[in-house]
Chain A
Amino acid sequence: MGRAAEVTRRVVDKLSWYAASLMGDNHYRRYVEHRSRAHPGEPVLSEREYWRMRHAAADADPGARCC
């Protein structure tokens, strides 16, 4: 019983991690990690500003979508 619950919890965690990575929920966290790793001590955008920057980048260089 406890084992089944443990397995279920792990599967759910993995799935929600997958969805979050695919859709973009954890992209800001990764951005913060990247900044602290590659550019320590430099200012970091807020989440709101980060997404504005992302969308501005997509505005300037759109990704293609196929058929």
Chain B
Amino acid sequence: MATPTAASDRFEETKGDVTYIRTDKDLPPVAIIDRSPITTRHKIVFGVIAVLGAIAWAIIAFFRGETVNAVWFVIAAICTYVIGFRFYARLIEMKIVKPRDDNATPAELFENATDYMPTDRRVLYGHHFAAIAGAGPLVGPVLAMQMGYLPGTIWIIIGAVLAGCVQDYLVLSISTRRRGRSLGQMARDELGAIGGAAAIIGVLVIMVILLAVLALVVVGALAKSPWGVFSIAMTIPIAVFMGIYLRFLRPGRVSEVSLIGVGLLLLAVVAGGWVAETDWGKDWFTLSGVTLSWCIIIYGFAASVLPVWFLLAPRDYLSTFMKVGTIALLAVGILLARPLMEAPAISQFASRGDGPVFAGSLFPFLFITIACGALSGFHSLISSGTTPKLLEKESQMRLIGYGGMLTESFVAIMALITAAILNQHLYFVMNAPAGQTGPTAATAAEYVNGLGLSGPPITAAEIDAAAESVGEQSIVSRTGGAPTLAFGMSEVLHQVFGGTALKAFWYHFAIMFEALFILTTVDAGTRVARFMLSDGLSNLGGPLRRLKDPSWRLGAWVCSLIVVAAWGSILLMGITDPLGGINTLFPLFGIANQLLAAIALTVVTVVVIKRGLLKWAWIPALPLAWDLIVTLTASWQKIFSADPKVGYWKQHSICQAAQEAGQLCLTAKTPADVDKIVRNTFIQGSLSIIFASLVIIVFVAGLVVAIRAIRGTGRPLAEDEPVPSRLFAPSGLFPTSAEKEVQKQWDALPKSPVASSTS
């Protein structure tokens, strides 16, 4: 629904509660403002949804001693999303966004049928979702299961409604009013030079750590798994085949080639099972973590310098196809299998803070571990820049920005369910670092049985049987979240599709698609980071100015090399880390992602205040305040904590003392391990300091600008002049009757006269 306007080239006509706005007397309306009050039927429907949601929440939160069915999680999530979308998002729309459908969006204004293209709202919703959701919402909730299912569920659902969706929606709205400018550019425009520079450097550094940790998850899932390595390796020739097919054989037949690609992909997963049975297959594809890391580093570099059509574009097609398909499959699987929760509502590790999966207590580390799915700063890079250039109407931003993030939150809930239905002993066998579980099923069984978990103890034979059921030699300490999710998915899906015979297939299918998402993020992310780097360096002037030219190959190679070296070295550091890798690096990933959210929310809050909407500034300021409290507390603990399980510098000083005394420290087993811990903790500790400082600079810059704006002495808003729109499209998922009526009028027009008046 649009907001009223008083411009001179607008013609308004009101019938009852509905106002129609034309920008051309001879054309049908381009905007509809519907002030109809909520109908009794709707009141009843939303009332029922609210009550149902409340019942589901009560069952999840208060049923103790009984196992809770996974379906209640789905109901609680969906009911909360519906209420959040209908009421909170609508409030934000009416009070802050105030969409003006009589103004053209960047997509309409600069339409070129390439990157600027008004796209049907339902299609754009799909695009936006495919761009924001990847492996993040699948991995975070799995790791957070260490704390029990309740805290994660509350944070994923409530966090999305009050924080993540608000960020995505508002960033989309301010970028749309600024011709689709990127977050970094908007930060410079609205916060000034220092805040802007800190934001741009922050984005770049955060991107590097993000790529490193995602790559670490893939390596964790594939190390010593010949089946997984084979099927992932095959995605490269499949993508290249698709690229060649699209470029030379049948250009434009994207769905066709994607279907062929998905068929080949499934074949690769099946074939992986055969290959892993053979001696040569075991020889070739059983790779150590370090070797795999080098493979991914080389791959990341190659993918970022090769032409897009050859590898990146086809992989993206495959990834989109698999994303939508697999998530739908998992939802159907959960609803049909209706599994029971094995995890406790709140575990012993929530308050003690000594859990093996990640260190630290529930506050703040749960909110760091689950970033994607509840509040993900990275989305602000897609909500600004990419999506505004495809948007038809401002009023559709609620569906795409807010609704897209709700969908990602739902994906996170499903990931949480798949981890919560696993036997808890098995969960810790898979997720505790190797230094604690030891190398064999026997040592792992002994370790987890000593953790004091509820339920009967596990035996080594049971662990071996679980590994065999999914076609792996071992599942001991397969950290990173991806193997656990794959295991949970195979539990759900084999009950519905195919029985125990297909369990190993589903496990490797899940591993394959997670790795596919991550590798797509790694190659696209390396490329984006390379562009940011060369753009930033070219602003320094001198001979570096030549980097502005994207076709300068040497410059592109050098910048790619720098980016890959940055995340590659962190990846190698994580893989060889004696302290466990994922449990020390994942918090850094979460902190980085949420600090990016702090930057985005600062920019948004400043814009809201500059627009004179101080009264409603609490809407973005609430998630901003929460996010700053969480991330800065976590950073503080990571930097200053005296607990050697949490504080990087504490670990550093202990091991440095041990190094000088020629002794061992923490989980180090050799003097070389001690050296590694000294080096790694130094890097991790320094990165924590850099992240936190950059965000504080951005926040302070925002605060200064906001205070100036409130006093009325600030710089003006950098919004662009509105241009009247010449097209019509409905706002929500389903068109209203008034929208259908207007759409009919547009459809009845002869095609060509519209054309002449458009240009």
Contact = CB atoms under 8 A, between A and B. Distances in A.
B131 A66 contact: yes
A6 interface: no
Interface in A40-62: 40, 47-48, 50-55, 57-62
Contacts, number: 136
Contact of A27 (B136, B252, B520): B252
B285 interface: no
Contacts of A62: 308, 312, 524, 527-528, 531
Interface in A10-67: 18-25, 27-28, 30-31, 34-40, 47-48, 50-55, 57-67
Given A25-B252, A64-B381, A64-B524, A55 B309 contact: yes
A57 B114 contact: yes
A51 B132 contact: no
Contacts of A28: 252
Contact of A61 (B115, B122, B551, B593): B115
A62 B525 CA distance: 9
Given A47-B251, A55-B313, A66-B378, A21 B755 contact: no
B321 A23 contact: yes
A66 B589 CA distance: 13
B114 A66 contact: no
A65 B122 contact: no
A20 B255 contact: yes
Interface string B121-149: 01100110001111110000000000000
Given A37-B754, A64-B385, A65-B316, A22 B127 contact: yes
B669 interface: no
B246 interface: yes
Contact of A34 (B111, B309, B379, B551): B111
A16 to B, nearest CB: 8
Contacts of A58: 308, 312-313
Majority SS of interface residues in chain A?
Answer: helix
B593 A67 contact: yes
Contacts of B253: 25
Interface residues of A, number: 38
A30 B113 contact: yes
A22 B123 contact: yes
For chain B, which range describes its interface: under 10, 10 to 19, 20 to 34, or 35 or more residues? Answer: 35 or more
Contact of B308 (A24, A39, A55): A55
B120 interface: yes
B119 interface: yes
A23 B376 contact: no
B624 to A, nearest CB: 20
A58 to B, nearest CB: 5
Contacts of B308: 55, 58-59, 62
Nearest to B123: A21
A63 B524 CA distance: 7
A38 B111 contact: yes
A38 B551 CA distance: 29
A67 B207 CA distance: 10
Contact of A66 (B113, B132, B313): B132
Contacts of B258: 23
Nearest to B214: A67
A28 B111 CA distance: 14
B254 interface: yes
B114 A54 contact: yes
B452 interface: no
Contacts of B132: 66
A36 B320 CA distance: 31
Given A30-B113, A62-B527, 18 more contacts: A22-B127, A22-B320, A25-B254, A27-B117, A37-B755, A37-B759, A47-B251, A48-B247, A51-B252, A53-B114, A61-B115, A64-B378, A64-B381, A64-B525, A64-B528, A65-B131, A65-B134, A67-B372
4 tightest Cβ-Cβ pairs between the two chains A and B: A67-B136, A31-B113, A37-B755, A65-B524
